[in-house]
Amino acid sequence: MGSIYLIRHGQASFGADDYDVLSPIGVEQAQVLGRHLADLGIAFDRCIAGDLRRQQHTASATFDQYRALGLPVPALETDSAFNEFDGEAIIRGLLPDLLSSEPDAVHILRNGPQNRSEFQRIFALIIERWLAGTYDPPGLESWLGFVERVQGGLQRILEAANHTDKIAVFTSGGTITALLHLITRMPAAQAFEMNWQIVNTSLNQLKFRGREVALASFNSHAHLQLLKAPQLITFR
């Protein structure tokens, strides 16, 4: 059987002017992951990432560790199917209908880094509405559209894969959640409950034979746990 390793990007810059940049911790997480994969002796046949900078940078920082050890590294391919959903667009599109029940939502979202638990609560409410599909304004990528996009990326991988290929896909939590939903047939709301637990640079392994795909492991982050450095276990 072949393997697809879905890898969530390293910690991004939550609360900064540009979220789509790895933080120093995010870079370190990717470096730790690269050393861990090299120690396991995993040789990848392909490496794919979405076109978001945090995804691309995680891939390069991970495989820089391979290069430092003189190990072969596949060329980095880009497929935007593995981009995260546009959280900012979803907030802009769905927030107005939430304000009648959550009048402080704008203030909470603007001050997310100072009140992460309240930010997460409001964001989860918005995502709940997005999943339901009853509030989608024109021009906003729907949950069903997002799932279809991600599924297309997976199908392209399977169509080109040899039966023993090991393929790294550097992506994001929402994309991993969509694949979890597709492969296990888990309801979307339940899949998103697991999404909130996905650790930065965690490994999520899929096994495939032809077009048949199964989930082999979820949210593995032993490479971080073994360091006994709690600051490296992050969720954004």
- 157 in the same domain as 208: yes
Per-residue pLDDT of 5-22, as tens digits, reads: 999 999 998 766 677 899
Range of the domain at 109: 87-132
Are residues 99 and 105 in contact, defined by beta-carbon separation less than 8 angstroms?
yes
CA distances from 122 to 117, 125, 190, 193, 214 (A): 9, 5, 17, 14, 33
Q: For helices 116-132 and 188-195, give the axis angle rounded to 10 degrees.
A: 160
Instruction: Give pLDDT, residue 136.
Output: 78
Per-residue pLDDT of 43-55, as tens digits, reads: 999 999 999 999 9
- 66 in the same domain as 21: yes
Instruction: Give pLDDT, residue 16.
Output: 66
Per-residue pLDDT of 185-229, as tens digits, reads: 999 999 999 998 999 999 999 999 999 999 999 999 999 999 999
- 151 in the same domain as 224: yes
Domain boundary among 71, 103, 132: 132
- 205 in the same domain as 99: no
Instruction: Give pLDDT, residue 115.
Output: 81
Judge whether 140 lies within some domain. Answer: no
Q: What is the mean pLDDT of residues 66-90?
A: 97
Judge whether 54 lies within some domain. Answer: yes
For CA atoms 84, 45, 215, 36, the dihedral sign is negative
Instruction: Give pLDDT, residue 15.
Output: 65
Instruction: Give pLDDT, residue 111.
Output: 84
Judge whether 137 lies within some domain. Answer: no
Judge whether 214 lies within some domain. Answer: yes
Judge whether 141 lies within some domain. Answer: no
Instruction: Enter the pTM of the model.
Output: 0.94
CA neighbor of 127 nearest in space, from 110, 111, 109, 114: 109
CA neighbor of 83 nearest in space, from 175, 176, 192, 203: 175
Q: What is the mean pLDDT of residues 64-85?
A: 97
Q: What is the CATH number of the domain that holds 65?
A: 3.40.50.1240
Whole-angstrom distance, CA of residue 18 vs CA of residue 23? 11
Burial class of residue 88, CB neighbours in 10 A (0-12, 13-18, 19+):
exposed
CA atoms within 13 A on the CB side of 61: 25
Chain centroid to CA 202: how far? 9
Q: What is the mean pLDDT of residues 138-150?
A: 95
Per-residue pLDDT of 81-132, as tens digits, reads: 999 999 999 999 999 999 999 999 999 998 877 888 899 899 999 999 999 9
Instruction: Give pLDDT, residue 18.
Output: 76
CA distances from 92 to 59, 96, 109, 123 (A): 30, 8, 11, 11
